[in-house]
Structure 1
Amino acid sequence: MSLFVKDPQARVDHAIDWSAYLAGQSLVASLWTVSPVETGGLVVEANAFEAQRSSVRLNGGVAGRIYRLTNRVTLSDGQVDERSVTMRVEER
């Protein structure tokens, strides 16, 4: 799991390139979730996906908190996979 740092006032984009894991498949669905869910916490503002890449725009977060950002995808053959990253929010 990778660690990223974000300012609570920043809007940032994050993406996962799935091409190394697809073995000839493509993405047909993508869902991003944040844990924990809390008032003022990290929020998924927008998301999108292409055949081999998924992306998300993040906003907010409580300074000093650590969040798990998870991308769950469905592949063209019906398989489901997910990757998570850690997002630490701190004043920068």
Structure 2
Amino acid sequence: MSLHCKDPGARIDHGIDWSAYLAGQSVMASAWEVAPVETGGLLVEASAFEAQRTSARLSGGVVGHVYRLTNRVTLSDGQVDERSVTIRVEER
């Protein structure tokens, strides 16, 4: 799991390139989840995906808090996989 920093006022896109993990498959569905869920916490405003890449637009977050952002995908052969990153919210 990798660590990324985000300002609480920033609205940024975070993406995952799945091409190294797909073995000839394509992404058919993508869902994003943030933990923990809290008032004023990190939000996924929007999301999108292509055959080999997924993205989510992130906003908010409480300064000093750390969140786990998880992307769960369904592949063209029915397999399900997920990747997570850690987001730390800091004034920048």
TM-score by length of 2: 0.99
Deviating 4+ runs (over 3 angstroms): none
Q: Which residue of 1 aligns with 2:13?
A: 13
Q: State the shift of 1:54 in Å.
A: 0.2
Percent identity, aligned pairs only? 79
SS of the counterpart of 1:20?
Answer: helix
Q: Which residue of 1 aligns with 2:46?
A: 46
Residues 37-81 of structure 1: per-residue CA shift (max 9 Å, x gap): 000000000000000000000000000000000000000000000
Q: State the shift of 1:4 in Å.
A: 0.1
The residue correspondences of 1:1-92 to structure 2 (distance < 5 A) are 1-92=1-92
Gap regions ≥5 residues in structure 2: none
Size of the aligned set, in residue pairs, is 92
TM-score by length of 1: 0.99
